Each structure stands twice: as structure tokens, then as C-alpha cells.
Chains A and B, each alone.
Chain A
Amino acid sequence: MRDGIYDPQEPANRRVHAFNKRIYSRLSGGDEPGFIESLPNPVKNGVVNFSDTVALPQTVVNQLLQGRLLRASRNTLRFSVNATLGLAGLIDVASPMGLPQDRSNFGETLYVWGLPEGGYMELPVLGPSTERETVGIFVDFFTDPFAHVLPSPQRYVRYGARLGELAIKRSDYGDALDAVMLGSADSYAQARVIWLEKRRHELGDDSIEGAGFIDPESLDTEGF
């Protein structure tokens, strides 16, 4: 496992990566400002906040499963505040009250339960993942508490909001992402190392090589 990367399905993952790159470049639409960029900020914020609010019940369930009772109760409060005072989740009034965004998913629950990360994966459209995270995405999809209380068409609102949120974030941060991805000699390898390091950091997983200490005196720097 070099540099903390385990990628036994690399050839298949690279094919998915090539497919994703084509989709992303089509979505970004070149130099013209796209539809999403032209939306006013309050609309964009509304979509992002709404998506966060409807995802909160699932976060609470996962944090309970992780034994993180304080964070689960804070998020219960955050949901109550934003769903009512925040006009059904369109405005994030809870963050300034000291209840900032704190998301979780079943991938994190599996990490807390001690399941190993598994191999690296790149999923179509969704992008970088690991075997553990992919299991988490499936479980989250079929166990959303929101889907159990809502009738059929409304329960899909959450996925619409999530797609909207992803598209908005992609348009806001796309420049930096494109600079790294398109400028790279191997965008697959860059996306893989950056995503794995960021996700391990979010989870607090410092057990894998690469997150470890780099000794500033261990190298022969003669001649450089």
C-alpha cells in the first residue's frame, strides 16, 4: 500500500473517471456563465440550506448509531429550529445561534464501528468513494427516516435538493477544482489522493500511512 492508497480496481475506476470528466466538462459549459451561476445568491443559499435541513434526520440517526449523543441532540435542535424559524429549512438560523452544520452518514457510522476502509472506488457521477463509503451510500438511500414519514412524490424532494446543492457547490468551487484536475498530469491520481486524505481527516482516521508524521530530517537533501 504505497502512500496509504489501496486501489485494486484501478483500471475500472479509471474508466469511470474518464466518464465523469466528460460529464463535468459538459456541465460547466466552458467560459460562459452557466444557468446556476446566474441564479441570485438567496436562491442558491435557500437550496443549500433546504438540502441540509432535510438531510438532518438521517444525520441524527447515524450519530445515535455512532454513540455521539451530544452531536445527535445538537442536530435535533438544529433541525427543529431551521424547520420552523428557518421557514421549512430555507434559512439557516441555527448556525448563528451556535448550532453549526455537522453532517454525518452511514459511511462514518461504519468507520466508527471499526469496518476497514476497503479499496478506493470512483462512482459514476458521484465521484470518489471507498468500498466502505459506497456501502454507506446504499444503506443511507434505503433507510432515510424522512422517506418513511412522507408520501411517495414528496420523499424524492430530498434528492432533488441534494442534486441542486451539489450543482451549486460545483459551480461555486469549480474553478479551483478544474485548476487542479485539468492542470494535472494525472487527474485520476490527484483526485484519489486528495479525496482520501480529506475524508480520513473528516473521520479523524490517522491510522493510515500518509496521515502520519513526515520527519523533516529523514531525507538526503544533498544537491537539491
Chain B
Amino acid sequence: MAHFTNRRGFLVGALGAVALGTLPGVALAASAAQAERLVQGLVGDVNAVIASGASEAAMIAEFERIFARYGDMPYIAAYVMGADGRRASGPQKKAFTAAFQGYAARKYGKQFRKFIGGQIRVEGTQKVKNAYQVATTADLRGQAPFEVTFFVGEKSGRFYNMYVEGVNMLLTERTEIGAMLDRRRGDIDAMIADLRRAG
């Protein structure tokens, strides 16, 4: 049942976005061009760090700053924590957001080594409901090109998710955080302590 509503919802959303785009004078928090510029800025900053030839630790610190600057961190943190986020205290939420930011920078930053000499091309932007999907192609040396799609929230104007060859980062990380919590029998503080060392 769910997949029918999903597909229809997707279609209605896409049609709605087209209709909205044709209405004059509709003010949006972020436009397609702004979403695309955000992704271009993000990709440009990442490329500059890689080209700098700094040590891995210095690069990862830079990636964390880039992540925090372009990403909608409260949203990403709340999503990956899932239902467990609802029983977290205020200080736990803050600590989790900070720990997750560092973990993501380490985990994904280590993969960026392979990007040396490569480039990411922005292909185009599509509006789906209240988000922009910025499609890019990553051309790495000695590898077949692959698709990376960035999602930018219309209201936040920030990046909140990405798909690498169809693999959804938010969903993958929610699975991982759930597994880390299970390993600690649901102890949020212990999970956050593990997260500070993981990645």
C-alpha cells in the first residue's frame, strides 16, 4: 500500500513544483539557482581542501567545518537518531550533534583521498516538494563515473542528505546509529562516547 502513496505523492509533488514555478511572484526561501550554488560552493571547498595537500588530520578538521557550514546539522542529527532522539535530554542532543559531525567528517573525509585528481560536475537541479535535488557526476581517476545527488531544503537553504549511486546517506547512518545504540543496550551517553571515536 505504502509504495502507491509514495509514488503518487512523488508525482503530485513534482507537478506541484512545476505549477508553483510558473506562478509569478511566489517568494521561496531558496531558489533552484541558490541550491545549485550551495552545492557548487560545497564541492569547490572540498576540492580546495583536497588540493591543499595538508595532512589527513588537518583535512578532516577542514571537512568538519565545511560540513557544519553547508549542512543542516540539527536536521541531520535528529534524523539519524530516529525515535531514540525523542527520549534524549537537551545536553544529549547537543552532544550527539557535535559528535556526529566529527564522525561524518572522519568517515567520509577518509574516502575523499580517492578524489585527488578527480572532479565533481553539477549536472542540474530539480525541485521535488519542499527540497531541491542537485544531481552531480563524480569523475575519479581510473574509475567509472558515478552519480551523487545532493538534497537542499527549501526552507533551510542547507544541504540535508545525499545519495551516492542511489545509496541514501541519512538512512544508512540511521541504521548505523541504531546499531551503535543496540550495542550499548540503548544507553545514549555510551553511544555518543563511542561515536566520538568512530569513523
Do A and B interact with each other, yes or no? yes
Query: B174 in the interface, Cβ–Cβ < 8 Å?
Result: yes
Ordered nearest first, which 5 A-B pairs have the shortest CB separation? A201-B166, A216-B153, A186-B179, A207-B3, A221-B74
**Measured CA separation A224–B153 after assembly (Å):** 17
Docked-complex contact A212 and B10, CB < 8 angstroms: yes
Which residue of chain A has the shortest Cβ distance to B153 in the bound complex?
A216
Query: B85 in the interface, Cβ–Cβ < 8 Å?
Result: yes
Residues of B within 8 A of A202 (CB): 166
Which of B19-27, B56-64, B124-132 contacts the other chain? B124-132
Docked-complex contact B94 and A223, CB < 8 angstroms: yes
Residues of B within 8 A of A213 (CB): 6, 9-10, 13, 128-129, 131
Docked-complex contact A216 and B130, CB < 8 angstroms: yes
Query: A33 in the interface, Cβ–Cβ < 8 Å?
Result: no
Cβ contacts A91-102/B at 8 Å (1 or 0 each) = 000000000010
Residues of B within 8 A of A190 (CB): 172, 175-176, 179
Residues of B within 8 A of A198 (CB): 165-167
A/B interface sample: 22 pairs, CB < 8 A? A3-B175, A189-B176, A190-B176, A194-B167, A194-B172, A197-B166, A197-B171, A201-B166, A208-B3, A212-B6, A212-B9, A213-B128, A214-B161, A216-B75, A216-B131, A216-B156, A217-B155, A223-B88, A223-B90, A223-B93, A223-B94, A224-B97
Segment 177-224 of A: residues with Cβ below 8 Å from B: 179, 183-186, 189-190, 193-194, 197-198, 200-202, 206-217, 219-221, 223-224
Asked whether A216 and B160 contact (CB < 8 A) given A185-B179, A189-B175, A221-B75, the answer is: yes
Docked-complex contact A224 and B10, CB < 8 angstroms: no
Cβ contacts B147-179/A at 8 Å (1 or 0 each) = 000010111100011010111101110111011
A binding-site residues for B, Cβ under 8 Å? 1, 3-4, 101, 176, 179, 183-186, 189-190, 193-194, 197-198, 200-202, 206-217, 219-221, 223-224
B binding-site residues for A, Cβ under 8 Å? 2-3, 6-7, 9-10, 13, 72-75, 77-79, 81, 85, 88, 90, 93-94, 96-97, 107, 110-111, 114, 128-131, 144, 151, 153-156, 160-161, 163, 165-168, 170-172, 174-176, 178-180, 182-183, 194, 198-199
**Measured CA separation A185–B194 after assembly (Å):** 10
**Measured CA separation A210–B168 after assembly (Å):** 8
Knowing that A197-B166, A201-B165, A216-B130 touch, tell me 5 more A-B residue pairs with CB under 8 angstroms: A176-B111, A214-B131, A216-B155, A223-B90, A223-B94
